[in-house]
Structure 1
Amino acid sequence: MSRELARRIAFTIGALLLFRFGTQIPVAGLNLSSYSPVLDFISRLSLFALGLIPYLTAAIFIRLLSVVWRGLNSLERSGERGRRKIARATLGITLALAAFQAYGIASTLTTIPGLVRNPDGWFVATATASMVGGVFVLVWLSEQITRYGIGNGLAVILSAGFLVTIPRDVAGIVGLVQSGEISGHLVLGHAVFWIVIVAVIVLVEGARRNIHVEFGARRVGTRQLPARGAVLPIKLNSAGFLIPATVAPWIFFLPLAFAGLILGADHPLVAAAYQHLQTGQPVQVILVSLAVFVLAFIYTAYVVDPEHTAKSLAQHDGAIAGVAQGGATADYLDRVVSLTTVVGAVYLTALQLIPGVFELYGIGLPYSMVVNGGAALVVVCTALDIKAQVRDVSLTNPGGVRR
C-alpha cells in the first residue's frame, strides 16, 4: 500500500468517525431519559438529524432546472467561475430547505409532552439552528472526503448512514427468529434475495453500450495525429444512483409538508394523503415508481446530452461509422440513449419498489426501512467507486504519473 493511499484511507476513516460522533449528539434542550429506551431518538434528533437530504434535494433541483433552462446549463459548462456560482446557489437553496425542515421538526417536538424541557420559542430557534448547522457541517465534511479521502464524499457518508443500521437490524431479526415470531425460512429467503440484488447491481452498473467513433487525422501544434478509432460508452444506468432513488419520495412529501404547514397536520386531506403515501400502499407504490422512472429519463438527458456530444465530436473531427456529423449524429445518439435509458429506468424503478412490494404482500422483515433497493444501490456503487479509486491511487506515482 502506498503512503498516499494509506493517508487517504486514514482521512476517510477519521471523517466517518466524526460523522458518527455527530449523530450521537442530541439536540440541546431535549429530555430523552424517558424516551430513549423505547425509541431511537438519539440518532433521529441529533445534530445531523437532517442528514444530507436538503443539500441533495437542492443540488438535484439545480440539475433538473438546468435541463429546461439553457442559461443555467451554459453557466455550468462555462468553467470554474460558473460552477462556483451554481455552488453558491445550491447552498442557498440548501439553507432554505434545511431551515424549513428543521423548524417543522423543532415545532413538532414542543407538542410532545415531557420531551422538551422548555418548549418555548428559544428552543425552536436553537434546535432549528443546530440542525441547519449540522447539514452544512456534513456538506463540508463530504467535500473534504472527496478532496483528501477515498470515494465521493456524499456517497460515502450516505453509505455509512445505511450500513450502521445493519448490525442492529440483524440482531433484532435473530432475536425474533429465536422467539419464534418470524420464520427462519423467510429470513433465509431475504438473505438470498439481497445477495442476488447486489449481484444484479454490480452487473448493471458495469454494463455499457459502446458506440464506435472514428477520429480523422489532425494537427495539434507541431504534432500530426493520425486517424484513430475510439469508443463512446453509454452506461445502462446513466442516471446514477443518488437522484432518482433519493429524491422521488420528496417530490410528494415536500409539497405535502407545505400543505401540512398551511392547512395543519390534522387536516383531513393532509392526513389522508399521508396515509396513502405510507410504504406499501398502492398509491405510494405507483407514484414513487412513476417518479423514479421519469427522473431517470430527465437526469440521463442532462448527463448524456446528444446535441452537446455531437457538437464535441464534430469539433474534434470525430464521426460515428455510417452516421453524418451534426444533427444526424445527435439524433442517432438520442435514439441509443433513449432505448438504453428505458432499461436503466426499469432497473431503478424495480429497486425502489422493493420495500413497498414486501410491505404490500406482507413478506417483509422488521429491519430499518433505510435498507432498501435505493440504499443497496448507493452502497454498491460507492464500493465500486472506492475500488476504482484505490486502484488508480495504487498505480499512480506521487507526481501523478502511472506506474
Structure 2
Amino acid sequence: MFKRIQNIFSIPELRHRILFTLGMLAVYRVGCHVPIPGINADVLAEFFQKTEGTLLGMVSAFTGGALARMTVFALGIMPYISASIILQLLGVVFEPVERLSKEGEQGRKTITKWTRYGTIVLSIVQGTGIAVGLQSMTIGQAPVVSSPGIGFILLTVLTLTSGTAFIMWVGEQITERGIGNGISLIIFAGIIADMPSAVFNTLRLANTGALSPAKLLFVLVVVIATVWAIVFMELAQRRLPIHYAKRVVGMRNYGGQNSHLPLKINMSGVIPPIFASSIIMFPATVANLIDIPWVQKAAGWMAPGNLVYYIFYVAFIIFFCYFYTAVTFNPVDVADNVKKQGGYIPGIRPGKATSDYIDSVLGRLTFAGAAYVSLVCVLPTLLVSGLNVPFFFGGTSLLIVVGVGLDTASQVEAHLISRSYEGFMKGVTLRGRHG
C-alpha cells in the first residue's frame, strides 16, 4: 500500500493535482467554522440538537455541520445541486434545454452558465428564508439573532450567497485543476468531517459500558459488509453484447467487431435516497417549527422506527430510481446510435425492437438497484431504532462517501495508466510521423 502511494506521489502532475485538491478542501473546511455576524451560537446549537432526524439535520450533515453553526458556508453546495437537477429535468420537458444538451461543448458551456445563475437565485431565496426564520426564532426566552432588522437580513443573504458562490468556484477549480469531481468531493468532505467525533463517541460508549463488546463487533461487521456491498453493486454491470456488421469499402473490410453496452445496476446514483429523505423528513421539519396537533401526529408517523416511515421511504426510493433513470437514460436514442454505427444486439432486430429490449433489461436492473439502495438506506435506521446500537452514518451518506471514493480512485488510476502508456511509447517512432 505504501509503495503504491509512493508511486502516486512520484508523478509530478498527479502529486500537484492531489495537493491542490487537498488544499482547496482545507479552505472549504476553514470556511465551515466562520460564523455569520449577529448569531447567538449557544441558542442556535440548542435548536439544532432537536433537529436530528429532520430535513435540517440531513442538510447540516451534508454541509459538515456548517448549517448548525450558521457559518458563511451554511447553504453548502446544495443550491448548485438543486439547480443542476432542475436543468436536467428541464432537458426532458423543455425543448430549448434539450436542444442545448445535444450541441456538444458549446451547449454544455451554456447549460453550465445557466446552472450558475440558477445557483445564485436559489441561494438568494434560501438565504432570505433562513434570515427571516432566524429573526423570528427564540429558544425559551433567548432570541437567536441579537440585532434583528433589515440590515441583518441583507447581510445574511449576501454572506450566504457569496459563500455558496465561492464553494461552487472551489468545486469547479478542483474538477479542472485537481483530481476527482469537485462538487462530489465537497459533499464527501462535509460528511467525513464528523467521522472522528463518531469514532470517539463509539469508543466512549464502549469504555463506559453502554456499548457491549459484542454490539461493537456487530456494528463493525455491519459497516464493513455494507461498504463491501456498496462497492460491489456500484461496480456491477449488465453488458449487452453488440455486434457490428462487416462493410467492404474499396479493397478493405471494416467492422465485424464485437463490443458491449454496459448498463449499471444503480443508474440513478444517490439522487433517489436524497429526494426520498427530503420528502419523508418534511413533516418532522415542519413539526419543529409549528405546534399543531395533526402536524405533530403526522410527524410521529413519519419518525424513524415507525412502520409507516419505512413503507413510504422505500416507496419513494423505488419511485425516484425509476423516474431519474428514465430522465437520464433514453433507450430510443441508444438504439438509434447503435443502428447508425451498423451495430445490433444478437437475436434482436435493430430499431424499435432493440429499444424495447434495452428498456425491459433496464427496468429489471432498476428494480434490483432500487432494492439495493432501499436496503442500504433502511439498514442504519433499523440498527438505531430496532436494536438500539449506534450507527453514526446514514445510508445516503455511505452511498455518497463510497461512490465518491470509487470515482476518485478510478481517476487516479487513469492518470497512472496514462503515465505508463506515455513511458511505454517514449522513443517509439510511429509510421507517418516525422521529426
Name the TM-score class by shorter chain. Answer: 0.7 to 0.9
Distance 1:401 1:128, change over 3 A: farther
The aligned counterpart of 2:371 is 346
Question: Is residue 283–residue 295 contact of structure 2 (8 Å, CA) maintained in 1?
Answer: no
How far apart, in 2, do the equivalents of 1:222 and 1:56 lie? 53
The aligned counterpart of 2:173 is 144
Pairing 1:186–2:195 present: no
Distance 1:271 1:61, change over 3 A: farther
Pairing 1:248–2:257 present: no
CA shift for structure 1 position 347: 0.8
Q: What does the per-residue CA deviation read over 1:192-248, in whole Å, with 9 as the maximum and x for residues that have no partner?
A: 10100011111111111111111123489998633211111111111123x123232
How far apart, in 1, do the equivalents of 2:249 and 2:423 lie? 22
How far apart, in 1, do the equivalents of 2:293 and 2:334 lie? 50
Larger Rg: 2
The aligned counterpart of 1:123 is 152
The aligned counterpart of 1:217 is 246
How far apart, in 1, do the equivalents of 2:194 and 2:340 lie? 50
Question: Is residue 67–residue 298 contact of structure 1 (8 Å, CA) maintained in 2?
Answer: no
The aligned counterpart of 1:332 is 357
Structure 2 counterpart of 1:387, which letter?
A: A
How far apart, in 2, do the equivalents of 1:60 and 1:338 lie? 22
Pairing 1:91–2:84 present: no
Q: What does the per-residue CA deviation read over 1:359-396, in whole Å, with 9 as the maximum and x for residues that have no partner?
A: 441524173xxx11111111111111111111111222
The aligned counterpart of 2:161 is 132
Distance 1:36 1:335, change over 3 A: closer
Alignment match of 2:398 (pick from 376, 387, 395): 376
TM normalised by structure 2 equals 0.81
Question: Is residue 107–residue 124 contact of structure 1 (8 Å, CA) maintained in 2?
Answer: yes
Alignment match of 2:341 (pick from 316, 333, 337): 316
TM normalised by structure 1 equals 0.87
- Secondary structure of 1:108's counterpart equals helix
- Secondary structure of 2:146's counterpart equals coil
The aligned counterpart of 2:130 is 105
How big is the alpha-carbon RMSD for the aligned residues of Structure 1 and Structure 2? Answer: 3.1
Distance 1:172 1:221, change over 3 A: farther
Distance 1:36 1:61, change over 3 A: closer
Larger CA deviation: 210-219 vs 44-53: 210-219
How far apart, in 2, do the equivalents of 1:52 and 1:359 lie? 28
CA shift for structure 1 position 287: 2.4
The aligned counterpart of 2:86 is 61
The aligned counterpart of 2:13 is 4
CA shift for structure 1 position 272: 4.3
How far apart, in 2, do the equivalents of 1:103 and 1:136 lie? 16
Larger CA deviation: 196-205 vs 60-69: 60-69
Larger CA deviation: 387-396 vs 194-203: 387-396
CA shift for structure 1 position 144: 1.1
The aligned counterpart of 1:21 is 30
How many correspondences in the alignment? 396
Structure 1 counterpart of 2:35, which letter?
A: P
How far apart, in 2, do the equivalents of 1:165 and 1:195 lie? 18
Structure 1 counterpart of 2:317, which letter?
A: V
Alignment match of 1:232 (pick from 237, 261, 269): 261
How far apart, in 1, do the equivalents of 2:376 and 2:224 lie? 13
CA shift for structure 1 position 253: 5.5
Pairing 1:172–2:201 present: yes
Pairing 1:385–2:407 present: yes
CA shift for structure 1 position 274: 4.2
* Structure 1 stretches lacking a partner, 5+ long: none
**Relative contact order: is structure 1 or structure 2 higher (C-alpha 8 Å, sep ≥ 6)?**
1
- Secondary structure of 1:396's counterpart equals helix
How far apart, in 2, do the equivalents of 1:31 and 1:245 lie? 33
Distance 1:100 1:149, change over 3 A: same
Q: What does the per-residue CA deviation read over 1:49-81, in whole Å, with 9 as the maximum and x for residues that have no partner?
A: 121222212222322343444553333122233
The aligned counterpart of 1:207 is 236
Of all paired residues, the percent bearing the same amino acid is 30
Distance 1:133 1:280, change over 3 A: farther
How far apart, in 1, do the equivalents of 2:275 and 2:32 lie? 22
Question: Is residue 26–residue 43 contact of structure 1 (8 Å, CA) maintained in 2?
Answer: no
Larger CA deviation: 199-208 vs 59-68: 59-68
How far apart, in 1, do the equivalents of 2:23 and 2:277 lie? 32
The aligned counterpart of 1:298 is 323
Larger CA deviation: 48-57 vs 326-335: 48-57
Q: What does the per-residue CA deviation read over 1:2-41, in whole Å, with 9 as the maximum and x for residues that have no partner?
A: 1110111011101110110110111112233677699787
How far apart, in 1, do the equivalents of 2:250 and 2:323 lie? 40
* Structure 2 stretches lacking a partner, 5+ long: 1-9, 50-64, 426-435
Question: Is residue 4–residue 393 contact of structure 1 (8 Å, CA) maintained in 2?
Answer: no
